[in-house]
Each structure stands twice: as structure tokens, then as C-alpha cells.
Chain A
Amino acid sequence: TQLLEQSPQFLSIQEGENLTVYCNSSSVFSSLQWYRQEPGEGPVLLVTVVTGGEVKKLKRLTFQFGDARKDSSLHITAAQTGDTGLYLCAGVTGGFKTIFGAGTRLFVKA
């Protein structure tokens, strides 16, 4: 069974602080995606990483895919209250089966 473990499960920080969320697995994935989910809505894609060691930046968000394509991290610089939400990593297999982690719930205080 393929599992994705995310840490931390919950994070409460002050506006302006930096944070890193981790996503780890014992399985190799074809690609890994990060989604953000707001209450009452479905997850929305932030980024897809494909190549081992790949780094992608999206404004204040930096995503990294591990060299072995088993783990990933999301780093947010100078967090804002608008970053509050549930961050989900998702591993995608060759058959496009997509497995989600349990998520990291981020709360950014003003």
C-alpha cells in the first residue's frame, strides 16, 4: 500500500514567519503534486513536480521533489493570513492513480 506521510499535521504561526511542510513516502512516484483546500471546497492544484531534485517557485512558495522521487517539501516565505488553509501532497503513479497525504493545516495569525 502506498502511503504519504505529511508533517507537521498542524501549524500555527505569526504573519511574516517562514515555514516548511514535509511529505514523505517509501514509494516512488511518477510525479508529486501539492494542493491547497479551503473549507467547503475541493482541493486546488498549486504545483506538479516531476524530476528528482526539481525545485519550483510560485511567488513566496518553494516546492522541492526529492532526488529519489519519494519525498517533497513546501516552503513558504513570509507567510500571510491568506495562506491559511489545508495543504495536501499527492503522489501520482504511472497509471495516474493519485494518493493524498493526511494534510497539514496551516493557520497564519495577523
Chain B
Amino acid sequence: EAGVAQSPRYKIIEKRQSVAFWCNPISGHATLYWYQQILGQGPKLLIQFQNNGVVDDSQLPKDRFSAERLKGVDSTLKIQPAKLEDSAVYLCASREMGKGLGAGELFFGEGSRLTVL
């Protein structure tokens, strides 16, 4: 079974430029998450999708970040304009609808490492 695919793996941009990250979740996984992980910290939830609808985006800086999940499959996360403090790894994860007790496993991609100069 193919895992969560993310691209690009690395991106270096200057502040005020824009960047976009792409994620293809595991086939059939209805729930998709974007996390921001700053060096030395745990992943911070940015946005959660259920199919193509937004479930939670309370931590997404909406003045510069946007995300969409058209057709309920692939997703893109965009930053425009980027700031120095956006330097981080952006992790995409997907989860199958829960079966039985407890939440199912979150499957993560390898992440997209962003450096803003």
C-alpha cells in the first residue's frame, strides 16, 4: 500500500515570496491533516479536512496561509507571503475513518522542509 506522498521535500525561498506544498493521502482515507513542525517542537495542527470539507482550521494563520482539498483527495497548502518564522517542516497526515474503539492510526508523509531567508 502506498503511503502519504508529499512534495517538494525541500524548499528555500526569501521572505515575502510564496510557496505551495502538495499532499496525496493514502487511498480511501477521508481525513487529512496539515501540521507545522518547527525544529525542536512537536507538530502543530494547522488544518483538518474531512473529505473536502474543513473540520478545524482554528490554528491556521489565515492572513497568509490557505489550504484546499478539492475532490476530497489531494490537498495543497499555500503560504503567501512567507515570513522568517514560517521556516519549519510541513507534515501531511491521513487517517481512515475510525473502526471500533479509539482513533485509527495517523499516517504521515516525510514532510516538506521550508527555509525562509
Q: Which A residues are closer than 8 A to B by beta carbons?
A: 6, 30-31, 33, 35, 40-45, 48-51, 88, 90, 92, 95-103
Question: By the criterion CB–CB under 8 Å, are B108 and A42 in contact?
Answer: yes
Which of the segments B37-45, B68-76, B79-87 contacts the partner chain?
B37-45
Which B30-61 residues have a C-beta within 8 angstroms of A?
31, 33, 35, 41-45, 48, 55-56
- How many chain B residues sit at the interface, stated as a range, is 20 to 34
Q: How does the 8 Å CB contact mask read for B99-111 relative to A, with 1 for contact and 0 for none?
A: 0011101111111
| Residue contacts A-B, CB under 8 angstroms, 14 given | A30-B102, A30-B103, A33-B105, A42-B108, A43-B108, A48-B102, A50-B102, A96-B31, A97-B55, A98-B33, A98-B95, A98-B103, A99-B45, A103-B41
- In the bound complex, residues from chain A placing their C-beta under 8 Å from that of B42 are 6, 88, 100-103
B98 contact from A40, A45, A96, Cβ within 8 A: A96
A96-B95, A96-B98 in contact; A45/B105 too (CB < 8 A)? yes
Min CB–CB distance B54 → chain A (angstroms) = 12
Chain B min CB distance to A99 (Å): 6
CB of B56 within 8 A of CB of A43, answer no
Complex contact A33–B106 (CB within 8 A): yes
Q: Are A97 and B105 in contact (CB under 8 A)?
A: no
